[in-house]
A and B are shown apart, each in its own frame.
Chain A
Amino acid sequence: MHNLLDDYAISNALRETSARLKLFLGLWAILLSVSSTTPIAPLFLAITMSLITVMLAKIPGRIYSRLLLVPLSFALLSAGVVAFMHGSGQTLFSLQLFGLNLAIREEGANLAVLLIARTFGGMCSLYFIALTTPMIEIFAVLKTLHIPQSVIELSMMIYRYIFVFLDQAAMIHSAQMMRLGDAGTKNSLNSFAMLCSVLFLRSWEQGERLIVAMDSRCYDGKLDLMEPAKGAKPLAILAVAAYLAAATAIAVLTRGVILL
């Protein structure tokens, strides 16, 4: 029905690896990417993280590249703006547009490349987490990190019902399409507004049914059953440590390098 990131997270080849280790790897890589002062480390992370996701976690390459198109459009747009707006140093490129002089200078170009690199480094690392670690395991890790119980319980139920409402939204949407709810902008907007209001009412009703369902199973304020987070294998820990050390070293060693 839906081809969601969640489906891959459940079935990928790294499913059995410790969630804590995967989270640690992903978060460290994100921090490294966004804090790096040169594009080299983020680009290294983007490439290696993609390889890990596609080769080790066996996420289909086509799906993965389609996912990367999402940040690509944002990154290119903002990089373009940054490149033209910033700058000192030598002019690399200039053009006259309606009497305006638009130029890309060295600093602007560097910044734009850095922006793209950081975006991709960060997104590839985030996708690594999203595609290899199911939410349920993230909840288990959150619990070991002593996040308040009620926050976790609430997120678990929200997570569960996202899929129920997704199905309902899809059904309402098809029902609208069948009766030409998308004919023209005005109709589309109207349909969308109706979808939202109906979905709101349904979630309200669902909430009431949820209380009945919980009450009839003797709800006593407890939903604390978590599968224990699995420990990481020593070899995996070593590999992740070596990889992150290498990436950090690259970031530190190349911090003074200026490309242009």
Chain B
Amino acid sequence: MTIILETRSLSYSYGDGTKALKDVSISLEAGKKVALVGPNGAGKSTLMLMFNGILRPREGEVLFRGRSMSYDAASLRSIRRAVGMVFQNSDDQLFAPTVYQDVAFGPTNLGYAAEKVKRYAGFALQYVGLLGYERRPPHHLSGGEKKRVAIAGILAMEPEVIILDEPTSNLDPASSEEIMEMLDELNLGGKTLIISTHDVDLAYRWADEVILMKDGGVVRRGTGQEVFGDAELIRDARLKLPLVVDLYQELAGRSIVRGAKPPRNILELCDLLQPKAETRAGVWGKIYICNVDEIDGEEIRAMLDKIPVDFKGAMGTSAKVMAEKCGISIDFTYGVIDKCILKALIGKSSIIMTSGGMVEHTLQRIKDYGLESGTKIEAIGLLQ
């Protein structure tokens, strides 16, 4: 366990005397997904701006990898490179006249050679699935695309930590799920992610750790189940219970379900509601996993003709780009693994198209589910 960011009795007040942060001491582990939740004016944004040195604390200190942050130009450059920040409003962040220029802004200012800048920017754009958009001006992009460009601009600087202020505000549900899935992909690649959000459902199911803030201080931190399990605390913080937790508490009150902890997602809730004995063993569907890195569009289509699947899911940008390129209609573009397991439990088979390290992750996730629930669903990796 490595602590990547730490604050020690951090306090900050704005020019007009409002105390935005009061004695905040937290430490964040590397490689985690952290969600800051809390009402408006709780100090989430202020705290985030401290993490990459935009704001300087009045009292206390911020530590990155165990070293206290200093605020001279050179240290700030290295901290801002390591801790990237994606703003809530993409128009605040995208100031260059073309997508490419914006993504290349960071690497250019880091002093990379032109060829290296091009490589980094190209890689970042490919990662967010926007290759071919280089020459477009930002005002010709949709909200979701703008957010992707903003993330690409940060990725091009190869940060260790990415901070996102309300990443899903102003996006349609599908776009926001896709952005969140992309964040999962980044997290699997080893990046530490910190988001702030008002969307309690999102924070609950996405985050490894939830930090609840109120009036400039940290009220509670822990897993989503720990923080959102306390209904009174959540009400005091002007938030609401995630739908799954609310439903679980009502069902538990009627003795319909029993369990020590509320379920994390729909899959766990379904398992709680339908005891294993009732599911008909042996008629579960299968999940096929196909690595789009090792296979081309023609082969995927040929494979789809051969294997009987009821649902198709695509996970990660390159799989989605591939599916779109060869005209395969996709049923699930987010929450893919859970959806496929849910379908397998009612006897439907599905295929998950994905790439790189996520193949292993998918197999592991299905295996873990089997171990946890006792329902072993067959996951078949499709190889050449």
Closest CB in chain B relative to A12 CB, distance in Å: 14
Can you name the residue of chain A whose Cβ is closest to the Cβ of B136? Answer: A10
Number of interface residues of B (CB under 8 A): 39
B187 interfacial contact with A, CB 8 Å:
no
- Residue A214 interfacial (CB < 8 Å): yes
Q: What distance in Å separates the Cβ of B83 from its nearest Cβ neighbour in chain A?
A: 9
B96 touches A160 (CB 8 A): yes
User: CB distance A223 to B135 under 8 Å?
Assistant: no
Check if B92 is an interface residue, CB within 8 A of chain A: yes
Contacts of A159 in B (CB 8 A): 97
- Contact B96–A156 (Cβ < 8 Å): yes
Q: Is the CB of A216 within 8 A of B54?
A: yes
Q: Are A227 and B98 in contact (CB under 8 A)?
A: yes
A209 to B49: give the CA distance in the assembly, Å. 12
Q: Judging by beta carbons under 8 Å apart, are A223 and B105 in contact?
A: yes
Q: Do A10 and B80 touch across chains, with their CB atoms under 8 A apart?
A: no
Inter-subunit contact A220/B96 (CB<8 Å): no
A11 vs B376: C-alpha distance in the bound complex, in angstroms?
53
- Are A156 and B97 in contact (CB-based, < 8 A)? yes
Q: Name the CB-closest residue of B to A160.
A: B97
Contact B85 A216 (CB under 8 A): yes
A139 CB contacts on chain B under 8 angstroms: 97
Chain B hits for A167, CB < 8 A: 139
Check if A219 is an interface residue, CB within 8 A of chain B. yes
How many Å from the CB of B104 to the closest CB on chain A?
5
Chain B contacts with A in 97-122, Cβ cutoff 8 A: 97-98, 100-101, 104-106, 108-111, 114, 117
Q: Does B87 contact A (CB under 8 A)?
A: yes
Residues of chain B lying within 8 A (CB to CB) of residue A217: 80, 84, 105-106, 109, 153-154, 157
- Which listed residue (A134, A163, A218, A224) contacts B80, Cβ 8 A? A218
For residue B91, CB closer than 8 A to chain A, the reply is yes
B285 within 8 A of A: no
Residues in A neighbouring B101, C-beta threshold 8 A: 156, 223, 225-227
The chain A residue sitting closest to B154, CB to CB, is: A217
Question: Looking at chain A's contact residues, is the secondary structure mostly helix, strand, loop, or mixed?
Answer: helix
Q: Tell me, yes or no, whether B77 is within 8 Å of chain A by CB.
A: yes
Q: Does A260 contact B (CB under 8 A)?
A: no
Name the interface residues of B41-98: CB closer than 8 Å to any CB of A. 49, 52, 54, 77, 80-81, 84-85, 87, 89, 91-98
- For residue B46, give the distance in angstroms from its CB to the closest CB of chain A: 13
Which chain A positions have C-beta within 8 A of B297?
A: none
Q: Which of A116-150 contact B (CB under 8 A)?
A: 134-136, 139
Residues of A within 8 A of B153 (CB): 217
- Residues 196-214 (chain A) with a chain B CB within 8 angstroms: 206, 209-210, 212-214
Interface residues of A in 216-260 (CB under 8 A from B): 216-227
Is A161 part of the binding interface, using a Cβ–Cβ cutoff of 8 Å?
A: yes
Pairwise interchain contact A215-B135, C-beta atoms closer than 8 A: no
Q: Does A72 have its Cβ within 8 Å of any Cβ on chain B?
A: no
Residues of B within 8 A of A216 (CB): 52, 54, 80, 84-85
List residues of chain B with CB within 8 A of the CB of A7: 140
With A213-B95, A223-B101 already in contact, the answer to whether A218 and B77 are too (CB < 8 A) is yes
Q: Is the C-beta of A95 less than 8 angstroms from some C-beta in chain B? A: no
Chain A residues, Cβ within 8 Å of B154: 217
Q: How far is the CA of A191 from the CA of B49 in the complex (A)?
A: 36
A contact residues around B95 at 8 Å (CB): 157, 160-161, 210, 213-214
Q: Kindly list chain A residues whose C-beta atoms are within 8 Å of the C-beta of B157.
A: 217-218
A-B contacts, CB under 8 A, total: 96
CA distance A218 to B159 in the complex (A): 12
| Chain B residues, Cβ within 8 Å of A225 | 100-101, 104-105, 108, 114, 117
B137 interfacial by beta-carbon distance below 8 Å:
yes
Interface 0/1 of A154-166, CB less than 8 Å to B: 0011011101100
B217 interfacial contact with A, CB 8 Å: no
Please state if B97 and A135 are interface contacts (CB–CB under 8 Å): yes
A221–B108 Cα distance when bound, in Å, is: 10
Does B316 sit at the interface, judged by CB under 8 A?
no
Complex contact B137–A160 (CB within 8 A): yes
For A226, the chain B residues whose CB sits under 8 A away are 101
In angstroms, Cα B93 to Cα A212, docked, is: 9
Q: Which residue of B lies closest to A212 (CB)?
A: B54
Residue B138 CB within 8 A of the other chain: yes
The residue on A at minimum CB distance from B117 is A225
Q: A160-B97, A209-B92 are in contact. Are A224 and B136 (CB under 8 A)?
A: no
Question: Contacts of B117 on A, CB cut-off 8 Å?
Answer: 225
Q: Which residues of B contact A222 (CB under 8 A)?
A: 108-109
**Contact, CB under 8 Å: A136 / B98:** yes
Bound-complex Cα distance A222 to B77 (A): 14
Q: Could you tell me the distance in whole angstroms from the C-beta of B114 to the nearest C-beta in chain A?
A: 8
Report B175-193 residues with CB < 8 Å from chain A CB: none
Instruction: List which A84-99 residues lie within 8 A (CB) of chain B.
Output: none
- From 21 to 56 in chain B, residues with beta carbon under 8 angstroms from any chain A beta carbon are 49, 52, 54
Residue of A160, A213, A218, A219 with most chain B CB atoms under a 10 A cut-off: A218
CB distance from B95 to the nearest CB of A (A): 6
With contact pairs A136-B137, A225-B100, A225-B101 given, residues A218 and B54 touching in the complex (Cβ less than 8 Å): no
Q: Knowing A160-B97, A225-B104 are in contact, say whether A219-B92 is a contact too (CB < 8 A).
A: no
8 tightest Cβ-Cβ pairs between the two chains A and B? A163-B139, A220-B109, A217-B106, A209-B92, A225-B104, A218-B109, A216-B85, A156-B97
Given A159-B97, A160-B139, 17 other A-B residues pairs in contact with their CB atoms under 8 A:
A134-B137, A136-B97, A136-B135, A157-B97, A160-B96, A161-B95, A209-B87, A212-B92, A216-B84, A218-B80, A218-B109, A218-B110, A220-B109, A225-B105, A227-B98, A227-B101, A227-B134
Binding site for B on A (CB under 8 A): 6-7, 10, 134-136, 139, 156-157, 159-161, 163-164, 167, 206, 209-210, 212-227
Q: Could you write out 5 A-B pairs with CB less than 8 Å apart? A: A160-B97, A163-B139, A216-B52, A217-B105, A226-B101
